[in-house]
């Protein structure tokens, strides 16, 4: 199902120096050989590489000496060295063995080189091409074999791009660590990839992908554009960084032509296929859970239709997460907010939100949305997206609605008036639209940086509008006063205050202080930065060390004195 490129490896040509058939005991022996070719790499589109396994990424290592070789190759590739030198000292019975020993050593180094890249998706800039020069010298008692590898690199990746990739990985790992259990971490990363990566449009519609990056974790995490290898390698990398065993598993070109993951949880292995939980054509915001934590038996049934994967892969026998798995019916990511877990299920055209405190407990009904939008074919294909304590969705009148989890109120962010379901531009082999209009819908993507929701059509991948989220109580923005004033404050979490300040630029900038009290006595004072205030309503944040446990009052004072310029606010 998934299109993949084929790699035709160059046959290695070995050139050996001639040595005497027999050498006197203690006499110096010398032999050399070299080869060039290519190894089978998942990030180059190949599905025939070694099975990767183990949290420590040492799937191909058979001894401590080989572990040293592995780590040397890994560090060399991390540093993008032009050559990487590895060596090993052995004993040989006589000089007749040296040719065979050197050839075997060189072959093993090539296998380790392949394993290192396949095991470590951070090495996305390494290619399958290599050259290796090997030599052996010494005596039968101490025969030293040395191999010099010349790796292949994609030269267009800059240090800044690699740094950005590593920073993105580290940031995602940090976010995932905020949830409680390994299962939640695996689910968090699954949902992140499904909602932030799109299956490559060219590949999905039977064309050649425009970028080789679609096979890599870089394509998934930085460009948001990947095929199955990119999804699986990104998932493997992130889970391993979280200390969770995760491997890739493949079904070859004559089978499914596909790659996905196996994850070990509480001593059992499970199938996870993020790619097949991400709809095609891409509908922003959608995230299924039909391929999350499945057994061998279930993923190979008529509904899930996976087959032909590596026989070397661990068996997946547990069905623990298939029985009473409360998230299987949701088409949206799971949302962690305010110490609870939320999920939404669309029933009879409405989003019903449930809340729970534990993953293994079914949630209780929390809130229900208005009717969702359906296209003119009466086909429900619109999506929804979680945003800072709210669910945004498109209602039946094409209004973008925001349902607050804090007070369950609904507000309108705007109207998507320019959407009409259309055929995709791409055509199939019969000249018909690859995606008929019936599958077109309104996807939603949330931009955390700009606090805005983007509406995007599925079939045309065109933006329909951008809507800024009102991430503060609406009353703060009503009846804006004509003088610098505190308009309100609220706790964002147990220790973070959100503060609304109206500033009139014709007046001097004020200072803002937060005083904490305990049993009527002041216990501390914190100053809020007001240097960047602009004319109109400003939303500020302050972290209060004592948090909600103490009473907090806000004072807006003139710049150089203690004269109040706005009302004092007691934070509820």
422 pLDDT above the threshold of 60:
yes
Q: 525-558 burial string, b = 16+ CB within 10 Å, else e?
A: ebebebeebeeebeebebebeeeeebbbebbbbb
Burial class (CB in 10 A: 0-12, 13-18, 19+), 84: buried
What value does the mean pLDDT take over residues 152-157?
Answer: 85
**pLDDT tens digits for 48-70?**
755 554 333 445 566 788 889 99
Strands (E), 266-339: 268-272, 292-294, 335-337
In this prediction, residues 229-256 reach a mean pLDDT of: 94
Classify 326-471 by CATH class.
mainly beta
Structure tokens at 229: 């290898």
Average pLDDT score over the chain = 86
Could you tell me what percent of the chain has a pLDDT over 90? 53
Number of helices (H) and strands (E), helices first, in the chain?
8, 28
Contact indicator for 300, 273 with CB cutoff of 8 Å: no
For tokens 């709809």, the residue is 279
Q: How confident is the model at residue 496 (pLDDT cuts 50, 70, 90)?
A: confident
Range among 23-27, 369-373, 442-446, 546-550 rated most confident? 442-446
**Band of the pLDDT at 22, cuts 50, 70, 90?**
very low
Q: What is the pLDDT of residue 560?
A: 67
Q: Render pLDDT for 290-322 as a digit per residue (tens, 0 to 9).
A: 999 999 999 999 999 999 998 888 999 999 988
**b/e code 399-438 from CB counts within 10 Å (16+ = b):** bbbbbbbeeeebeebeebeebebbbbebeeeeeebbbebe
Q: Architecture of domain 475-570 in CATH? A: Sandwich (2.60)
> What percent of the chain shows pLDDT beyond 70?
90
The answer, yes or no, to whether residue 218 has pLDDT greater than 80, is: yes
* Tens-place pLDDT, residues 512-533: 888 889 888 888 888 888 888 8
Going by pLDDT thresholds of 50, 70 and 90, the confidence category of residue 436 is very high
What's the rounded Cα separation, in Å, for the pair 230 and 209? Answer: 13
Predicted confidence at residue 59, as pLDDT, reads 52
**Mean pLDDT computed over 385-392:** 93
The pLDDT value recorded for residue 26 is: 60
Of 213, 220, 215, which is closest to residue 197 (Cα–Cα)?
A: 220
pLDDT of 223 over the 90 cut: yes
pLDDT of residue 507: 87
- Report whether pLDDT(155) > 90: no
Domain extents in the chain: 29-153, 156-324, 326-471, 475-570
The answer, yes or no, to whether residue 175 has pLDDT greater than 60, is yes
Highest mean pLDDT of the ranges 4-13, 58-67, 207-216, 325-334: 207-216
Among residues 159, 168, 70, the alpha carbon closest in space to that of 119 is found at: 70
| SS3 (DSSP) at 31 | strand
CA distance linking residue 67 with residue 119, whole number of Å? 13
Residue 350 contacts by C-beta under 8 Å, 6 or more apart in sequence? Answer: 368, 369, 370, 371, 372
Residue 245 has pLDDT above 70, yes or no: yes
Per-residue pLDDT at 119 exceeds 60: yes
DSSP at 520: T
What fold does the segment set 156-324 form as a domain?
C8orf32 fold (3.10.620)
């Amino acid at each position: 199902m998934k299109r993949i490129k084929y790699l035709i490896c160059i046959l290695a040509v070995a050139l050996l120096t001639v040595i005497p058939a027999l050498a006197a005991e203690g006499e110096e022996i010398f032999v050399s050989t070299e080869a060039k070719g290519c190894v089978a790499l998942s990030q180059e589109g190949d599905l025939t590489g070694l099975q990767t396994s183990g949290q420590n990424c040492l799937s191909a290592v058979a001894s401590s000496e080989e572990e040293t070789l592995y780590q040397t190759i890994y560090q060399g590739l991390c540093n993008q060295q032009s050559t990487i030198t590895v060596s090993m000292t052995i004993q040989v019975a006589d000089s007749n063995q040296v040719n065979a020993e050197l050839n075997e050593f060189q072959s093993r180094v090539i296998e380790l080189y392949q394993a290192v890249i396949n095991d470590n998706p951070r090495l996305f800039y390494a290619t399958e091409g290599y050259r290796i020069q090997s030599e052996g010298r010494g005596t039968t008692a101490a025969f030293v074999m040395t191999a010099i590898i010349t790796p292949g690199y994609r030269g267009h990746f800059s240090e800044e791009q690699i740094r950005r990739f590593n920073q993105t990985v580290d940031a995602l790992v940090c976010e995932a660590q905020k949830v409680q259990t390994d299962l939640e971490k695996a689910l968090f990363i699954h949902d992140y990839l499904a909602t932030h990566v799109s299956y490559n449009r060219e590949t999905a519609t039977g064309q050649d992908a425009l970028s080789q990056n679609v096979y890599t974790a870089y394509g998934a995490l930085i460009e948001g554009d990947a095929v199955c290898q990119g999804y699986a390698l990104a998932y493997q990398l992130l889970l391993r960084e979280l200390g969770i065993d995760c491997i890739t598993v493949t079904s070859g070109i004559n089978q499914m032509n596909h790659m996905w993951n196996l994850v070990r949880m509480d001593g059992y292995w499970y199938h996870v296929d993020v790619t097949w939980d991400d709809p095609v054509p891409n509908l922003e915001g959608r995230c299924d859970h039909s391929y999350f934590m499945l057994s061998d038996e279930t993923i190979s049934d008529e509904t899930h239709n996976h087959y032909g994967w590596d026989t070397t892969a661990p068996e997946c026998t547990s069905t623990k997460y298939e029985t009473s798995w409360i998230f299987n019916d949701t088409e949206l990511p799971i949302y962690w907010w305010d110490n609870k877990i939320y999920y939404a299920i669309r029933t009879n055209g409405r989003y019903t939100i449930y809340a729970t405190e534990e993953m293994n407990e079914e949630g209780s009904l929390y809130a229900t949305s208005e009717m969702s939008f359906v296209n003119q074919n009466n086909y429900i294909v619109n999506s929804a997206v979680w945003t800072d304590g709210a669910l945004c969705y498109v209602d039946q009148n094409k209004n973008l609605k925001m349902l607050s989890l804090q007070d369950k109120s609904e507000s309108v962010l705007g109207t998507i008036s320019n959407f009409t379901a259309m055929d995709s531009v791409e055509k199939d082999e019969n000249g018909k639209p690859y995606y008929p209009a019936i599958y077109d819908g309104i996807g939603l993507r949330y931009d955390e940086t700009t606090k805005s929701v983007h509406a995007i059509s599925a079939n045309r991948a065109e933006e329909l509008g951008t809507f800024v989220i009102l991430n503060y109580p609406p009353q703060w923005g009503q009846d804006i006063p004509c003088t610098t004033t505190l308009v309100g404050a609220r706790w964002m979490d147990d220790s973070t205050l959100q503060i609304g300040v109206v500033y009139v630029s014709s007046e001097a900038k004020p200072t803002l202080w937060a005083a904490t009290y305990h049993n009527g006595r002041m216990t501390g004072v914190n100053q809020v930065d007001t240097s960047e205030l602009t004319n109109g309503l400003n939303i500020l944040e302050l972290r209060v060390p004592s948090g909600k446990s103490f009473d907090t009052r806000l004072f807006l004072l003139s710049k150089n004195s203690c004269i109040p310029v706005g009302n004092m606010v007691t934070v509820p």
